[in-house]
Structure 1
């Protein structure tokens, strides 16, 4: 009996290690094997990319060998998935190999697609890849004043990233002594500063306190690099000296290519996390089409549910756990202060005033990330 997990990000890694513990007797007897199929032998700590862009960490600190993060009983295969064939219970890799399974977990994450917006890829900075974060770091080092525009495409992973970026930029400019020469403008696609109303209201108060300007109903339509102007679908045009974008995201190309879901988001049962219409396929993390934040904590909480239900199914039982939409996101507001937003399907978040204590809690989480993938603490 084979459980195949496609994707070795935070969700896929935690799920594999949890299954290794829950199914230890079956693995020992050779009745079950758990296989992780990853496109890369290295694991990237994605939240660290923002800190790389701000000059607060190094590239080497963001990576670990994926094999060292997995329980020895888990098989790791390196191959990029190019197609899913659920009717034949197979996954095809770029190598040409076909991998069979009894149960499949799709944890392929999301990808940025700046090319969807004319001029965005060529003229805007970002931080969702290592290369983009390094380029932004160089641009910020050279920046000495002018208008900085932060623009956001939807959907995107890490729901607090646009706010965190804006707060940390403002803090950086203050620390460098150039804040009086900087006009920092935050834009957002809907009529408030965040998709979650309570977070938007909290951010409005923080922006006012810190002198950050904002523009809502700003859906980016195009960027003119020659005139350094960003245009919105609503008809607003804004000049910039430095443009930083959170690009729109899509799911994995293999999902779109296989027809599993529009724009790469797989239709998913909101509690059981199974693919709609398939009892043998689960969906984890960014890959789902669920109305929850695409965040690392989301994948972590979902992995616990899927692991419990898969272990029960292997032993002939039924589903024992359900996902309640739980998400927990830290929001850094400066180098020494942070807050958080915790919420689920039924309960909205209630962000508190940023504090040093919460910043210490987030720093502690950063340091524990690698051990937490293995299930500790």
Structure 2
């Protein structure tokens, strides 16, 4: 009997995993013993880190998109459809575009996060984000005409995708306005919900002196409660009110409803953080943003986790005990301006120690952004 492995979600984690399985289980697929399917609700694969550069005119939104069919191995059955229901007892999925459900033997959920600005009154109307293609494009137009006033970057929702991106944005904005001779006319204010500038204390300790040196004002313990687009004010639950001329926000993130409906978690799947197995169902894995492991919602995390899940699934279909585990490995380049960047690498046991910013690391990040498409295809 053919064993069916289904991956839901064609982002970094899902795409890398599908290609990993196609390569790792090549003989079993050719023999008809294993079938690998990837289900995604969009025909395109989106590389979201590109959107950080769009507001500054350094990238186009199209640079972050490729047809998923061009990235996925031919041995993978690619299906463009939306999963609307997961029945982990019957091991079946219901799809929006099909009257028939799809069965599975092993399931991996890589459904990611969705933006939920509507959770904060006035945020959708008054703020601009660079966490969506449309948001990054609109923010580019705003920045091009912004020559004076107060720019507020408010981290509204945590946890969020690309944890370093809010810091990167204010560092890049500071540099960008200086290059244009406008920095003296632009105040940059950064808000964060807890009493430091980043969730990781080591990164916060590294970033705060840079912000102080560059005159980036900081408001910590600022939990956004409402935005008034007409008055151009943003108010915190703690009672602080800030005026803005341009509001850039990191909106609240939410998981996928069908995960909660399936009893797998509150929008994100409760997993063993080492094996990535779902706690509430057998033969179900989750990775990337979908897996509630406590590590950052970063693309590198999804990539490393995909390798672990691929090894475990290969062992399982071959009747061997799965032994591969995820150690929390995360790495990230952090832009510190328009021509310099830092680099961090850490795991469950070892905290991050950001490297001194350099032009070499900046170009390393840009080079990785270009080579990402080979990574998604499983070639790097």
- Report TM bin, short chain: over 0.9
The whole-number CA distance in structure 2 between the counterparts of 1:59 and 1:302 is 27
**CA displacement at 1:290 relative to structure 2:** 1.2
Residue 245 (1) aligns with residue 245 (2): no
Stretch of structure 1 that moved more, 88-97 or 107-116: 88-97
Partner of 2:32: 30
For 1:196-239, what per-residue CA distance to the aligned partner results, in whole angstroms no more than 9, with x for missing partners? 11100111111122111101000100001121110001110000
**Matched ranges for 1:40-79 at <5 A:** 40-79=42-81
**Matched ranges for 1:1-377 at <5 A:** 1-96=3-98, 97-152=100-155, 153-262=157-266, 264-377=267-380
3-state SS of paired residue (1:282): strand
The whole-number CA distance in structure 1 between the counterparts of 2:29 and 2:316 is 15
The whole-number CA distance in structure 2 between the counterparts of 1:82 and 1:271 is 28
The whole-number CA distance in structure 1 between the counterparts of 2:234 and 2:167 is 19
**CA displacement at 1:36 relative to structure 2:** 0.1
3-state SS of paired residue (2:292): coil
Runs of 4+ in 1 over 6 A off after TM superposition: none
Show structure 2 runs of 5+ residues with no match: none
3-state SS of paired residue (1:47): helix
The whole-number CA distance in structure 2 between the counterparts of 1:27 and 1:198 is 45
**CA displacement at 1:60 relative to structure 2:** 2.2
Counterpart contact for 2:113–2:254, Cα < 8 Å? yes
The whole-number CA distance in structure 2 between the counterparts of 1:104 and 1:273 is 12
Show structure 1 runs of 5+ residues with no match: none
3-state SS of paired residue (2:310): helix
**CA displacement at 1:154 relative to structure 2:** 1.1
**CA displacement at 1:53 relative to structure 2:** 2.1
The whole-number CA distance in structure 1 between the counterparts of 2:193 and 2:312 is 38
Counterpart contact for 2:259–2:265, Cα < 8 Å? yes
**CA displacement at 1:258 relative to structure 2:** 3.2
3-state SS of paired residue (1:4): strand
**CA displacement at 1:292 relative to structure 2:** 0.4
Counterpart contact for 2:264–2:278, Cα < 8 Å? no
TM-score (norm 2): 0.97
**CA displacement at 1:100 relative to structure 2:** 0.9
**CA displacement at 1:137 relative to structure 2:** 0.6
Counterpart contact for 2:264–2:280, Cα < 8 Å? no
The whole-number CA distance in structure 1 between the counterparts of 2:101 and 2:122 is 38
**CA displacement at 1:69 relative to structure 2:** 0.3
The whole-number CA distance in structure 1 between the counterparts of 2:377 and 2:200 is 31
